[in-house]
Structure formats: C-alpha cells, structure tokens
Amino acid sequence: MPSPDVYWLALRRARGVGPRTCKLLIEKFGTPEKIFQLSSDQIAAAGVPRNTAHSIAEFRDFEPLEKELCELPNIGARLVKWTDADYPPNLRQIADPPPFLFVRGTATLTDNTCIAIVGARAASDIGRRMAQRLGLELAAKGFTVVSGLARGIDGEAHQGALDAHGRTLAILGCGVDVIYPAEHRKLAEAIIEGGGALISELPIGTQPLAENFPTRNRILSGLCLGVVIVEAAEKSGSLITARMALEQDRQVFAVPGSPLSGKTRGSNRLLKEGAKLVECVEDVIEELAPQMASRAPATARMPSAEPVPTPPTSNISASAEVARLVQAPIDAKAPEGIADSSITILNNLKESERLHVDSIIESSGLNAQTVLRLLLELELEGRVTQHPGKLFSLA
C-alpha cells in the first residue's frame, strides 16, 4: 500500500488535475489518501469534471512516485504539503496554491517577511548593482529575499542577500535537483549553505522548459509581501510576476529607468500604472511597514479536519527588525557609536588600497550586518567605493 505522501504526488499527476482542483478536493475531503478511496461519481460530485474524476479514480501508477520520495533525502530535499504547519502561510492564501513543494535546504517557510526582487536576465550594470544593493539591504534588515535564480537581476539579488549573511529563497522552474542556469551552481549551493532553500512544485529531474516559468512566478509572488521589479522589458516574465502579484493582492514596486533603454520600458510602464517607485530600500520598507504592523501571525484556515499549529518562526532577527521598523521612523537617528564605527572603517581603508569585506568586519569588531550597512551608507555618501569580489576602497 502506498505511503500517505505518495497520494499527494499522485493527485497532482492525475490527468486533468491542477492546483485549483487539488485545493477544491482537499478542502472537501481532507487528504489525497481519502480522495483515492472514492469512486469517480463521488469525486465528480465535488465539482470536478467527470473525465478528471475518472482519471483520479483509475490512477494506479504509484510505484515511481514512491521511488521519487525515496530520492528526496539523497539530494537534501523534503516534501512540504499544503496541510503541513511549515507550509508558507502567504502562499496558502492565493487562489491556486501548489498542493506541495519540494524544498531543498533547511529554511523554514513560515515567516511573513519575504520580499521578491526580479528583473531582466540581460540586465544593465546599473540594474545589477541596484538589485544587489536591494538584496543586501533587505537581508541586512532581516527580510528574506526571494527570486528565481535566473541570470541578471535574480542572481544579483540572491548574491546581495548572501553578502549580508541573510537568507534567500530561489523559486525554480525546474526540479530542485536541476540547477538552471548551470553557471549558478555555486550560487545555489551558497543559498542552501546560508540557511536558504531551492523551492519547486515540479518533480525532481524536471528540466527548465519555457512553459514552467509563468506558473512558477505565481509561487514567487505568492510567498511575498511585495515584488520589486528592477528592470523589465516591454514583454518579459517579470511583468507576468507583477501581474500575478497584483491578482494576489501583493504590493508591486518598480525601479525607474531611462526611457531611452528598452530594458526598462516594462518597469516604467508599471510605474505609470500605479506601481510604487523604488530608489532605495526605505521606499520598500516604508510602504510595507503598516501592512506588517497590522498583520497577525498567519492562521489561514487549514484544509484538514484537525487544526494544525503554526510553528514559531525561526527567523528571530527578522521579527525583531520588522517590529523596530514599524515602531520607529525609517530615518531614525543611528545608535550612539555608529559614527565612531564609520570612522574606524574609513581609517582601516586608509591603510590599504582595497580591503575585502571580511577583513573590514574582522578589524572593526562589529557584526557583519552593521558593517555592511555602514559601508552602504559611506558608499552613498561618496566616501567609499565597492569593487568586484566584495572589495572596498576609499572613494
């Protein structure tokens, strides 16, 4: 007899069954295991087309799915089901949530501090730098940065979060064991090692086919409080993500670009249509702060008969930071001693042509997030310049 988790995979693999049908049936009957015990007439009575109900009732191909589940521990992955307490609460609220997720990495998914950063694959140098800076600053403030592991803006957003020693999640349009693009293999490993995760609803081994990505985007936006579009052409996947975010009642942000550049026509159009303009990380946080302050811990109705407790989030620093951001003005005066710390960093840079960020952290005696924030402030003031390879020098 198949294991209970196998029925979850089987329900999604039955012909004609999509996320909405899964949600309908699980809300009606509680678990996929119970659904497979029903006749096609009983399934159809729940509002499912008769041919789909028949394909569920006649499904018998369980053995390959058992093997798929057995393979998950070998790649460091696990199955997170819609009825599990660690299923993302924001994602459970959308109209077509995936019935389960394959998660490769140790990250818990229950915090409500996710913000997506997406944009062009063939991004400009300015766009890349902006994505990296937003990822770094958001992660340094305790937010979880979400993106799609693609070339360009996505990769820079992930890397920025990692540079801040923060957490980042990559939502894939392929199996969690398939890294696309291949040159982001080291980045994917760093995401996992940094406490983040690779996430997909697709079976392991699934290749990155073009048709997978638009449906992937609903997960990317659904996980998050808001989506920041850094660069997007007139017709791009980022605009699909923005549209889905609006349908899911998520906030959409866009970084303005030159009207002479085709790379930013899509993001500029979003601004014309009402997206919030972003020039710095405070523009994002200031817009979302009231929403975070009023949002109670996620207790969306669970489809199972018995209530499933929501575990406490392990992202303690994020929760504390959200509370601080909500209760204090964004431009609150820096704590005493920060100015002296900036001087210490500048003095260290005077003694070397270029210093790696790790050396600056070690010599300053401050924690990594504080040093990264100070370096960004000094860079914005024109006193410090960042170079490739996480190197810094006096401007």
pLDDT tens sequence across 94-129: 999 999 999 999 999 988 899 999 999 999 999 999
Q: What is the largest CA-CA distance in the chain?
A: 79
CATH of domain 1-69: 1.10.150
CATH 3.40.50.450 boundaries in the chain: 104-294
Specify the range with the lowest mean pLDDT, choosing from 80-84, 258-262, 331-335: 331-335
Better-scored residue on pLDDT, 163 or 354: 163
Interior/surface letters 113-143, b for 16+ CB within 10 angstroms, e for the rest = bbbbbbbbbebbebbbebbbbbbbbbbbbbb
Position 354 pLDDT exceeds 50: yes
Q: What is the mean pLDDT of residues 1-22?
A: 92
**Per-residue pLDDT tens for 218-250?**
999 999 999 999 998 887 889 889 999 999 999
Contact assessment for residue 345 and residue 360, using Cβ atoms and an 8 Å cutoff? yes
Q: What is the mean pLDDT of the chain?
A: 84
CATH of domain 338-394: 1.10.10.10
**Per-residue pLDDT tens for 15-28?**
999 999 999 999 99
Taking the C-alpha atoms of residue 358 and residue 366, their distance in angstroms, rounded to an integer, is: 11
- HSE of 104, CA atoms in CB hemisphere, 13 A: 27
CATH 1.10.150 boundaries in the chain: 1-69
Residue 156 confidence (pLDDT): 97
For the record, the structure tokens of 346 come out as: 């500048």
* Amino acid, res. 166: G
CATH 1.10.10.10 boundaries in the chain: 338-394
Q: Which fold has domain 104-294?
A: Rossmann fold (3.40.50)
Residue 380 confidence (pLDDT): 65
Q: What is the mean pLDDT of residues 349-359?
A: 79
Q: Reduced to 3 states, what is the DSSP secondary structure of residue 49?
A: coil
